[in-house]
Amino acid sequence: MIRCKGPHSLPLARGASVPFASIMTSMHYRRFGRLGWQVADIGYGMWGMAGWTGSDDQASLESLDRAAALGCNFFDTAYAYGEGHSERLLGETLKRHPDKRLYVATKVPPLDRVWPGKAETPIGDVFPYAYIREMSEKSLANLGVDCIDLQQLHVWSDAWADDEGWQRAVSELKQAGLIRGFGISVNRWEPANVLKALETGLVDAVQVVYNVFDQAPEDELFPACERLDVGVIARVPFDEGSLTGMLRDGMTWPKGDWRNLYFTPEHLREILPRIARLEALLPDGMPLPELALRFILHHPVVSTMIPGMRKIGHVETNLAASERGPLDPSLVAALRAYRWDRTYDIP
């Protein structure tokens, strides 16, 4: 078993970042809300390697190793990513880097396995008390740790905010030392559907879709996180891949790959002209993925972002964006015109 080491907290204001100069790239770190951890401003998303087609465990493990070597110290996984497979890959990575403080975030899947969470579903069908405890034990075993840094709920509806069951489970898991912090991963394109839960004081971090297109978290969620000192994890920084510039008209993925549900022909037809307009805005020498990550870096309330990566090359180029820092304010201002509040019915 790997013991959780205590968080090292430097006295840093939210949004301030410090470089870690003793490594090859100069990774920058930000304070993770009230938990006080110093986390890399570019972390690691671990869904693709255990859920999307084209994954290769060896390549994924090498990518994770490279990220750790370059100073990335925040890794987001979930039980639902391959029914524990992604968690086990992270567990192997933790064992290979016993000298490093790597922060582990995972998630309890909804009992009914329905994404997104819906107000009309009773919370007893989604996150009953005993189930949250049981799934946390399973994740602890998959990860090979005796304490999870951040346990999150994988869907949410604020209709459940007052429920005593999840609140008791979270408090008891913390008291027992089985989790250090607790977070909620909010439904796609519903960033405000967690504000009531934040007011309980039990939520240390929020995970939300935030990227060049999806800027709505800035309206209500980010101010609330700032006020309550809640850590913010920006997920899906590349809009599931469109903001890498690699998608083409008519593209499909092998049967069973979730991206077929997201990039429907209709959605893709709307995305591609927006990508073309974005590419016309790129400063000389800046690839689109770099613009996407450095846009997110501009927001001081974001503690870390978690690009999905399965290849060493992607790890190296993405983590290098940390050193380059936030985009020039004039470019951020121009990107305001690319905000896109979507309403597709997508899981």
Ligand X SMILES: NC(=O)c1ccc[n+]([C@@H]2O[C@H](COP(=O)([O-])OP(=O)(O)OC[C@H]3O[C@@H](n4cnc5c(N)ncnc54)[C@H](OP(=O)(O)O)[C@@H]3O)[C@@H](O)[C@H]2O)c1
Q: Which residues lie near ligand X (CB under 6 A)?
A: 45-48, 76, 154, 185, 207, 235-241, 244, 246, 289, 306-311, 314, 317-318
Q: What is the DSSP letter of 50?
A: G
Tell me, letter by letter, the H, E, C secondary structure of 265-279.
Answer: HHHHHHHHHHHHHHH
Nearer to ligand X, 230 or 236 (CB): 236
How far apart are CB 43 and ligand X at their closest, in Å?
9
Q: What are phi and psi of 90, to 5 degrees?
A: -65, -40
How far apart are CB 238 and ligand X at their closest, in Å?
3
Is residue 128 within 8 Å of residue 165, measured between CB atoms?
yes
Can you give the length of the chain in residues?
Answer: 347
Nearer to ligand X, 10 or 251 (CB): 251
How far apart are CB 122 and ligand X at their closest, in Å?
20
How far apart are CB 15 and ligand X at their closest, in Å?
22
Nearer to ligand X, 9 or 270 (CB): 270
Question: Burial, 105: exposed, middle or buried (Cβ in 10 Å; 0-12, 13-18, 19+)?
Answer: buried
Nearer to ligand X, 172 or 325 (CB): 325
How far apart are CB 205 and ligand X at their closest, in Å?
12
Nearer to ligand X, 169 or 292 (CB): 292
Picking from 21, 20, 40, 22, the residue whose alpha carbon sits closest to that of residue 30 is 40
Provide long-range contacts, Cβ within 8 A and 24+ apart, for 110-119.
110/153, 110/154, 110/155, 113/80, 114/155, 115/154, 115/155, 115/187, 115/347, 116/155, 116/187, 116/188, 116/190, 116/347, 117/155, 117/156, 117/157, 117/160, 117/187, 118/157, 119/157, 119/158, 119/159
Nearer to ligand X, 74 or 129 (CB): 74
Q: Which residue is nearest to ligand X (CB)?
A: 308
How far apart are CB 296 and ligand X at their closest, in Å?
11
